[in-house]
Amino acid sequence: MRRALDALVQLGAPSLLVVAVGLLSTTASPANQVYFLNALISVAIVVAIYVFVGNSGVLSFGQISFVAVGAFAAGVMTVPLDSKRGVLPTLFPLLRNHTIGNVPSLLLAAGIGGLFAFLVGLPLMRLNGLAAGIATFAVLEITHNVLTEWTSIGPGATTLSLVPESTGPLQGTIGALVVIAVAFAYQRSRLGRQLRASREDSAAAAGVGVSVHAQRLWAFTLSGALAGFAGALLVHQLGSITTNEVYLELTFLTLAMLVVGGLTSLWGAVVGALAISGLDSFLSQAEQGVHVLGLKLDLPSGTRLVFLSAIMALVLILRPSGLTGGREARLPWRRR
């Protein structure tokens, strides 16, 4: 009974936060709605990264490659057929002559993200520590290079546009909830627990029969599928995208969100994503001047990034284990 309650809180608290953001987005003006949608998509991406990085303890800079692949797969396949031949004339005929709907494109992105992650992870998951970090970074570079140059599978270096903007409050909220639910189910499953054991002590976990390589590979694949799905949500929100939008900056920002929230918990991933994107939205409003508690706050332009990075650094220096301390959500009177 107690365990069931704990589990309910662990899943319920992040879900409630996401639903609250989704509801708030419906009350916001169209101009401000984009901030809430960004926050929801950040949650999806950061939780996808958490599934691998948080559970395995292995730092990966490569998860944004799966976001990129998912975004471009979903984007290219949903450009309406009548304009596709005009804007993407160099595509393979198979891609150029077919278009799929919104939901199939989300599933396609998840499938391709997962498949790509599996193929990449097969050799890479043998690596540890910094070698793993650099190798996954190399995957990001290769993905970016190929997506930017190969015009038979996408727009290349130009902007992919005319993608249906189907990620509104509803799709954003449901998408983020799906990613959270999958991540939660995974971390409580037998596989997830084996991987978390290997994070705490990989030699001891191997000693009791955990195949660290296999467990990391499953998590990497699942994380890739969720990242691809999140990429599809992203492209359907933006409507147009370039390869540079799913590259280094997004990698650093999403990793920072995860670490600021607390690397080792789902709650940390969600709180970190919402806190940083909330702060970012507030600061960009403040650059235009906002009223807070009766005071007029008007930041000089360009100071948004200064404050954002300074606050991130400060949180990490004062609370290195993140805002949540890397613990799951729990009721206040059940602190241990």
Partner 1 sequence: MILGVLDFQTLTDAVGLGAIYALMAVGIGLVFGVLRLVNFAYGQLVMAGAYTLAYTSGWPLAASIVACFAVVVALSLAMEISVFRPLRGQSPAVMLVTTFAISFLLQSIALIFDLRNGQLGEVAASLTTLAQPITVFGAQVREVTLVELGVAAGVLLLLALLMLKTTIGLHTRAAASDFRTARLLGVRANRVILFSVVLSGLIAAAVAVMMTVQLPLVTPDFALRDTIVVLVGVVVGGIDRLWTATLGGFTIGFVSGLINGLLPTDKTVYLPSAVFALVILVLLLRPAGLFAWGRRAAVPDRV
Distance separating alpha carbons of residues 279 and 192, to the nearest angstrom: 32
How far is CA 225 from its chain centroid?
11
- Residue whose CB is less far from partner 1, 133 or 168: 133
Residue with tokens 């008007």: 298
- Residue whose CB is less far from partner 1, 17 or 263: 263
Question: Residue 307 has what DSSP assignment?
Answer: H
Interface with partner 1 by CB under 8 A: which residues? 53, 59, 123-124, 126-131, 133-135, 137-139, 141-142, 145-146, 149, 202-203, 248, 252, 255-256, 259-260, 263, 300, 302-303, 305-306, 308-310, 312-313, 316-318, 320-321
Minimum CB separation of residue 308 from partner 1 in Å reads 8
Contacts of 4 (CB under 8 A, 6+ apart): none
Q: How would you label 101-128 residue by residue, b for 16+ Cβ within 10 Å and e otherwise?
A: eeeebbebbbebbbbbbbebbeebbebe
- Residue whose CB is less far from partner 1, 33 or 202: 202
Minimum CB separation of residue 299 from partner 1 in Å reads 11
Distance separating alpha carbons of residues 237 and 159, to the nearest angstrom: 15
Answer whether 144's CB lies under 8 Å from 247's CB.
Answer: yes
Minimum CB separation of residue 292 from partner 1 in Å reads 22
Distance separating alpha carbons of residues 334 and 324, to the nearest angstrom: 15
- Residue whose CB is less far from partner 1, 1 or 318: 318
Please report, for residues 17, 157, 180, 187, 316, the alpha-carbon distance to residue 50 in angstroms, rounded to integers and kept in the order given: 17, 30, 10, 10, 17
Minimum CB separation of residue 214 from partner 1 in Å reads 17
- Residue whose CB is less far from partner 1, 106 or 259: 259
Minimum CB separation of residue 62 from partner 1 in Å reads 10
Tokens of 274: 């919402």
Nearest in space to 64 (alpha carbons), one of 145, 149, 153, 140: 140
Minimum CB separation of residue 165 from partner 1 in Å reads 29
Minimum CB separation of residue 47 from partner 1 in Å reads 17
- Residue whose CB is less far from partner 1, 71 or 256: 256
Minimum CB separation of residue 300 from partner 1 in Å reads 8
Tokens of 324: 């949540």
- Residue whose CB is less far from partner 1, 172 or 272: 272
- Coil, helix or strand at residue 9: helix
- Residue whose CB is less far from partner 1, 85 or 319: 319
Phi, psi angles (nearest 5°) of residue 241: -155, 150
Phi, psi angles (nearest 5°) of residue 186: -65, -45
